[in-house]
Amino acid sequence: MLDEIIIAGFGGQGVLLMGRLIAYAGMLEGKKVAWMPSYGPEMRGGTANCTVIISSDDVASPVVTNPKTLIAMNKPSLDKFEPEVETGGTIIINQSLISQDVKRNDVQVLKVPANEIANELGNIRVANMVALGAYLAAKKSIKVESIIKALEDTLGKKSKKIVELNKKAIEKGGELANKDIKK
């Protein structure tokens, strides 16, 4: 089992948190993982991305040049990383901020209106968790229960309400992806 992921968006969209949660959940499941963040000097609004590798074998390097999965939270991220996704890979796009179609026809594409769903849940900041839920449903590299445990360990210190809201966002993203996958 191997999934190489690039998660990209603007700073402040929770891109790095998504990557950390996936890596931590993989560790909880006894998988080999690597997580490597990359971001500009700006705190919010600049670019941010990370690579995550989940594997049943040892991971030799955290560098990912041709990911199996791309989660693009904004248009510049899709433009930059779409050509790099390997043939047969998966691209999950935040349809709320990306109106263009993916140019390729050799990948699976999931369009997730992450911002709209987050707004319906009452907090735009959980758009990343909506996208994460879609990833979990589409790829099944990590169990939802492991992500929830990672979420509780990471955010549980802050507030149970925040954890519960994030869980709902993950659930909504998964439901949406499952409907899209069955089409």
Answer yes or no: are the C-beta atoms of 73 and 9 closer than 8 Å.
yes
Can you state the percent helix, strand and coil of the chain, rounding each to 5?
A: 45, 20, 35
Mean pLDDT of the chain: 92
Start-end of H helices in 44-157 = 75-81, 114-121, 127-139, 144-155
**Whether pLDDT at 37 is above 60:** yes
In this prediction, residue 45 has a pLDDT band, given cuts at 50, 70 and 90, of: low
| Mean pLDDT in residue range 3-11 | 94
Domain of 72, in residue numbers: 2-182
* Residue 126 DSSP symbol: G
Q: In whole angstroms, what is the distance from residue 8 CA to residue 152 CA?
A: 23
Q: Are 28 and 141 in contact (CB under 8 A)?
A: no
Region 142-148 average pLDDT: 96
Q: What's the confidence (pLDDT) of residue 61?
A: 85
Q: What's the pTM?
A: 0.93
Between CA 93 and CA 75 the distance in angstroms is 9
User: What three-state secondary structure class fits 15?
Assistant: helix
What is the arithmetic mean of pLDDT over 18-40?
Answer: 94
- What length is written for the chain? 183
Q: Name the band, by pLDDT with cuts 50, 70 and 90, for residue 83.
A: very high
- Between 39 and 51, the more confident residue is 51
pLDDT of residue 120: 96
Identify the CATH number of the domain in which residue 80 sits.
3.40.920.10
Q: Which residue has the tokens 């899709």?
A: 78
Asked if residue 43 has pLDDT above 70, the reply is no
Number of domains present in the structure of the chain: 1
Token reading at 157: 């210190």
Element (H, E) at 32: strand 32-39
Question: Phi/psi class of residue 104: alpha, beta or left (left: φ > 0; alpha: ψ in -120 to 50)?
Answer: beta
Say if strands 69-72 and 47-55 run parallel, antiparallel, or are unpaired: unpaired
First-to-last C-alpha distance (Å) of the chain: 25
